[in-house]
Amino acid sequence: MHTRRSRSPRRSRIGVALVSLAALLVPACSSGGAAGSASPAVAQAALAALPQATPSALAPYYGQRPAWRDCGVPGFQCATLKAPLDYARPGEGDIRLAVARKKATGPGKRLGSLLVNPGGPGGSAVGYLQQYAGIAYPAGVRARYDMVAVDPRGVARSEPVRCLDGRDMDAYTQTDVTPDDQRERDRLVGAYKKFAEGCGSRSARLLRHVSTVETARDMDILRAALGDRKLTYVGASYGTFLGATYAGLFPDRVGRLVLDGAMDPSLPARRLNLDQTAGFETAFRSFAKDCVRRPRCPLGARADEVGPNLGAFFKKLDARPMPTGDPGGRRLGESLATIGVIAAMYDESTWERLRDALTTAIDDGDGAGLLALADSYYERDGDGRYANLMAANAAVNCLDLPSAFDGPDQVRKALPAFRKASPVFGEGLAWASLNCAYWPVAPTGEPRRIEAKGAAPIVVVGTTRDPATPYRWARALAGQLSSARLLTYDGDGHTAYGRGSACVDSTINAYLLRGTVPPKGKRCS
């Protein structure tokens, strides 16, 4: 499943909030078991809070104070903190975490630090702060809070996980994820194995210690280092899972938490991937309705034609990839084209760009536009270098939950359910859910409810037609957290805060600035 980070003004990957966009070769967090099911034992399990007293072995970490320095980005300061690589053996090896902040601008009394995370897993929170949150969050919020971000362990500037070089990543992202025969299935399995082996050989030290639980514990060290008694936090997409995990571990240290585009931590991976597949279908149908209202939709004149016509286009690309003008000779096959379309589902403001890219591809046989969308999703630059987004995404997802499938036979049995969830994307997203089956280290997490009993009020935000984090997940998380209040945004796109709804923004601003919790049943559009 992919979550990727949130987008729209916030630089989300086309941008990153892939929860795990199972999407082609992006890791899927799933667990075994029948699709759509979770055992009663798993459903009842809850994340246990850690002891309130800080263990003496962790005191040196909690006693740190950041040595702030110039970042090279006007208005921002940077620092480095240490956290134990293994919380079971503090002091036997550390990991260095990159932190950035922009101090409160005033006027008004400073309220403390506001930590932000854009999702992923694998999205750079420092990059998000410097490129969006620290300059585009509401002025009233930036006036009263120091805006702070930390790249999670294994991500970007915090000892990034490494797996494949640019050339091998190009090959990986072009692998056919709708295999038609045994040879193609073997090739797909081989790609997953090569990716996993690359991660194991290049990042062996890190792979057992990049879980969401460990990152949440790092956040508490940062909270203490900043001098804050409680954590104030805005997390989007996967960042909601991270924030909820923090609340479950440290309920007494919860300040004001906003969890926007929420995940349901109680679900096994296969169910998460299946739900997400349905979410992308919902978003695509909204795109289809919008497309046919335009002067010319490249996929048909009626909304019910758009999906079948896109599927037919994908099949043509599967048989014969089209040129893109890429200097390295990459052609647009089904896998990259599918990612290009999925990338545009995160934000309705990208639909026009998608229509143009599809028109050029279908009418002129030029795949450059769709390739550019796919590259933005994968965070590949013009020189063929990839950010570590996909590596970190797999590393976290495959550690947090058991694999959705153990092998190709299980995927084949699940294909009908995935195709039903999305006739357009289902097959590819099902096969993309296989990658964790070959991961070099065993998972340490499992599906768990998060209740965070005793925590201060937490605001959970859900968008009704969110592609990557379906609305039902927000309802589920709000139902688990003992102090949660659900804010519903009736709209399209991934996440809601800062995406154009004055109702959503004013409601969240009132909570962050004054602690005003939304009324029960609050809906915005």
**How confident is the model at residue 297, as a pLDDT?**
97
Number of H-type helices and E-type strands within the chain: 19, 13
Q: Which residue in the block uniquely carries the two structure tokens 């008004």?
A: 108
Cβ atoms of residues 161 and 122 within 8 Å: no
Residue 173 corresponds to which tokens in the numbers above? 């992202």
pTM recorded for the entire structure: 0.93
Q: Which two tokens stand for residue 174?
A: 């072009």
Of all residues in the chain, what percent carry a pLDDT higher than 90?
91
Mean pLDDT computed over 211-236: 98
Cα gap 65→74, rounded to integer Å: 22
Asked if 322 and 361 count as a contact pair (C-beta separation under 8 A), the reply is: yes
HEC string of 430-483 equals: HHHCCHHHHCCCCCCCCCCECCCCCCCCEEEEEEEECCCCCHHHHHHHHHHCCC
The answer, yes or no, to whether residue 22 has pLDDT greater than 50, is no
Q: How far apart are CA 477 and CA 263, in angstroms?
A: 7
Q: For residue range 25-59, what is the model confidence (pLDDT) as tens digits?
A: 333 332 233 333 333 344 458 999 999 999 999 99
Task: Give the residue, 302 or 5, on which the prediction is more confident.
Answer: 302
Q: Which residues are catalytic?
A: 237, 466, 494
**Strands 69-70 and 77-84: what pairing?**
antiparallel
- The phi, psi pair for 348, rounded to 5°, reads -65, -20
Could you read off the pLDDT of 490-506 as tens digits, one per residue? 999 999 999 999 999 99
The pLDDT of residue 45 = 82
Of 493, 494, 525, the closest CA to residue 507 belongs to 525
Per residue in 238-270, pLDDT (tens digit) is: 999 999 999 999 999 999 999 999 999 999 999
Q: How buried is residue 328: exposed, middle or buried, by Cβ count under 10 Å (0-12/13-18/19+)?
A: exposed
Q: Give me the residue spans of the domains in the chain.
A: 65-161+210-266+447-464+473-524, 269-378
Q: How far is CA 175 from CA 34, 184, 256, 319, in A?
A: 27, 9, 43, 13
31: helix, strand or coil:
coil
How do residues 347-383 score in pLDDT, each as one tens digit?
Answer: 999 999 999 999 999 999 999 999 999 999 999 999 9
Peptide linkage before 121 cis (omega within 30 of 0): yes
- Are the beta carbons of 405 and 432 closer than 8 angstroms? no
Question: Any idea which fold 65-161+210-266+447-464+473-524 has?
Answer: Rossmann fold (3.40.50)
Give residue 130's region: left, alpha or beta (phi > 0; psi -120 to 50): alpha
Contact 424, 456 (CB under 8 A): no
Q: Please return the burial class of 127, using the count of CB atoms within 10 Å of its CB with bins 0-12, 13-18 and 19+.
A: buried
Q: Which long-range contacts (CB under 8 A, 24 or more apart) does 288-291 make?
A: 290/348, 290/351, 291/351, 291/355
Mean of per-residue pLDDT scores for the chain: 92
- 163-190 pLDDT, tens digit each: 999 999 999 999 999 999 999 999 999 9
